[in-house]
Amino acid sequence: MLNGKRILLIVSGGIAAYKSLELVRRLRGRGASVRCVLTGAGARFVTPLSLQALSEDRVYSDMFSLTDESEMGHIQLSRDADLLVVAPATANLLARMAAGMADDLAATVLLATDKPVLAAPAMNVRMWTHAATAANVETLRKRGVAFVGPNEGAMACNEFGPGRMAEPDEIVAAIETMLVPRQRPLAGKRAVVTSGPTREAIDPVRYISNHSSGKQGHAIAAALAKLGADVTLVSGPVALADPPGLRTVKVESAEEMLRASLAAGNVDIAVCAAAVADWKVVHPAAGKMKKKAGAPPPQIELAPNPDILATLSRPGPQRPALVVGFAAETENLVANAIEKRQRKGCDWIVANDVSPSTGTFGGERNTVHLISASGVEDWPTLAKEDVALRLAARIALHFSGPPKAEAAE
């Protein structure tokens, strides 16, 4: 809940501004008060009257309005809030923030504030991926501005890719993470989580992959971040938004996933939830493979992929203190998982039955067993988010509790 929290919402000019109306409603529903600053361009997408009605407060837009300055100076406006939220944050406003400009009320307030700032970017995919925007975002991140989104998806401009503003619920969750003090037992711990499938190229248009949705791995990364861990999520191709409050590195192949996992540096916790393709194509074709009349289908030579979990589990000074693997099995679940834990050298295995009848792959729920050296815990069927929260809590306990229980392992 956000009872008593004061949000200054800056709405700049993008088609996503309509979602900001819903954001105001959700924030107020959670007990926050919302005061809005609307840029000139923003007012072309939503009216001051809508924001005023939903926030039940006046809407500020003109820096030079005498009334505003006498009743509420722009410095005051920025200081009277617990958090400034820029949603949508257009490429233009991000550029002005990065440059430290003060050419309208929104930019001035953002320059004058001493409060945390959260930005929810929204723009065309090419504008988001442009080097200028990337540099501005990097600059702002370094100065402590937090970001939520953008998400990938179809855009109003008929293009597809990252640039859609995060949904109101995601923005509310990011705000709560910033404003509501939580128990953060994993603060100071670093974690890497692999998630999703990998794609092994056969040629530029074909690949070998699997049905992993990444839901469980992404939920684990988010749960670890919620408990305060500094998380790098290494994700294969998935249709999920990047979870807020952590770093997401996107990869395609198993080899890229291994490189990115190692590049996360020295970590305390590694959770390998990805469904890594076991084999890669030895010689992917440089051009699209063509059918030749009468010729037999091509023979594709496969070679084993590196095992990321086994690599991270290797003893040595770099080894994370706790390495957790998954076992996706369709028969002899627990026995296979116990054997897998030993073979891969990890500390814990989360074993789940992925037989089609269970609906685990791509589904919302999961029934798992947690296997460590001290035995097997059978968990009830839970939503994947709850499996993730429970696993993150167990990990926190592992680090906070006296080393005895695990020492018995």
Please report, as ranges, the residues that interact with ligand CTP according to CB under 6 A: 194, 254, 272, 274, 276, 278, 305, 307-309, 325-328, 340
Question: Cβ 217 to ligand CTP, closest distance in Å?
Answer: 8
Beta carbon nearer to ligand CTP, 78 or 305:
305
Query: What is the CB-side half-sphere exposure of residue 132 using CA atoms within 13 A?
Result: 11
Strands 348-353 and 365-366: unpaired
Q: Is 157 a catalytic residue?
A: yes
Q: Which is nearer to ligand CTP, 34 or 328 (CB)?
A: 328
In the complex, what is the shortest distance from the CB of residue 272 to ligand CTP, in angstroms, rounded to a whole number?
A: 4
Task: Exactly one of 36, 157, 272, 346 is catalytic; name it.
Answer: 157
Nearest distance, CB of residue 279 and ligand CTP, angstroms:
9
- Rounded CA gap, 147 and 131, in Å? 17
Angle, nearest 10°, between helix axes 215-226 and 384-400?
40
Q: Provide, rounded to whole angstroms, the least separation between the CB of residue 248 and ligand CTP.
A: 17
The contacts of residue 105 (CB under 8 Å, 6+ apart) are 37, 39, 60, 61, 62, 63, 68, 74
Say how far apart CA 380 and CA 294 lie, in whole Å. Answer: 55
Q: Are 246 and 219 in contact (CB under 8 A)?
A: no
Beta bridge partners of residue 152, listed in sequence order:
162
Q: Residue 214 has what DSSP assignment?
A: S
C-beta closer to ligand CTP: residue 166 or 272? 272
Going by C-beta distance under 8 Å and a sequence separation of 6 or more, which residues neighbour residue 377?
369, 370, 371
Least separation in angstroms between CB 193 and ligand CTP = 10
CB 324 within 8 A of CB 272: yes
Q: Which residue is nearest to ligand CTP (CB)?
A: 308
172 vs 193, beta carbon nearer ligand CTP = 193
**Alpha carbons 263 and 277: distance in angstroms, whole number:** 20
Cβ count near 96 (within 10 Å): 22
At 25 the three-state DSSP class reads helix
C-alpha span between 117 and 119 (Å, rounded): 7
Nearer to ligand CTP, 152 or 307 (CB): 307
The four Cα atoms 249, 253, 254, 260 give a dihedral, to 10 degrees, of -30
CB of 362 to ligand CTP, least distance (A): 16
Which residue, 19 or 280, is less far from ligand CTP as judged by CB?
Answer: 280
Between 123 and 267, CB nearer to ligand CTP: 267
Smallest gap from Cβ 309 to ligand CTP, in A, equals 4
Ordered DSSP codes for 74-141: HHHHHHS-SEEEEEEE-HHHHHHHHHT--SSHHHHHHHH--S-EEEEE---HHHHHSHHHHHHHHHHH
Residues designated catalytic: 157
